[in-house]
Amino acid sequence: MLDHLHHGRRRVAVEMDRLRLRASNGRVLDAETAVRSLPSDPGVVFLCLGNICRSPLAERYFRTRIEETDCDPSLVTSAGFVDAEGRESPDPAVSAAREHGVDLADHRSQRVSERLLDAGDLVLLMDAWNYRDLKREFPAALEKTCFLKAFDPGTDFEIADPYGDDPEEFRAVYDEVTDAVDELVDALAKR
Instruction: Work out the pLDDT band at 24, boundaries 50, 70, 90.
Output: confident
Q: Exposed, middle or buried, 1 (CB in 10 Å: 0-12/13-18/19+)?
A: exposed
- What is the domain partition of the chain in residue ranges? 27-189
Does position 85 have pLDDT exceeding 70, yes or no?
yes
Instruction: Work out the pLDDT band at 4, boundaries 50, 70, 90.
Output: low
Does position 55 have pLDDT exceeding 70, yes or no?
yes
Contact 135, 14 (CB under 8 A): no
Does position 84 have pLDDT exceeding 80, yes or no?
yes
pLDDT of residue 41: 86
The mean per-residue pLDDT over the stretch 90-101 comes to 97
Q: Supply the residues annotated as catalytic.
A: 48, 54, 161
Does position 61 have pLDDT exceeding 60, yes or no?
yes
CA–CA dist 177, 169 (Å, integer): 12
Q: What is the DSSP string of 22-89?
A: HHH--GGG-HHHHHHT--SS--EEEEESSSSSHHHHHHHHHHHHGGGSS--GGGEEEEES-S--SPBP
The mean per-residue pLDDT over the stretch 51-70 comes to 91
Contact 135, 163 (CB under 8 A): no
CA–CA dist 65, 165 (Å, integer): 27
Does position 19 have pLDDT exceeding 90, yes or no?
no
150: phi then psi, degrees, rounded to nearest 5: -65, -20
Superfamily (CATH H level) for 27-189: Response regulator (3.40.50.2300)
pLDDT of residue 5: 55
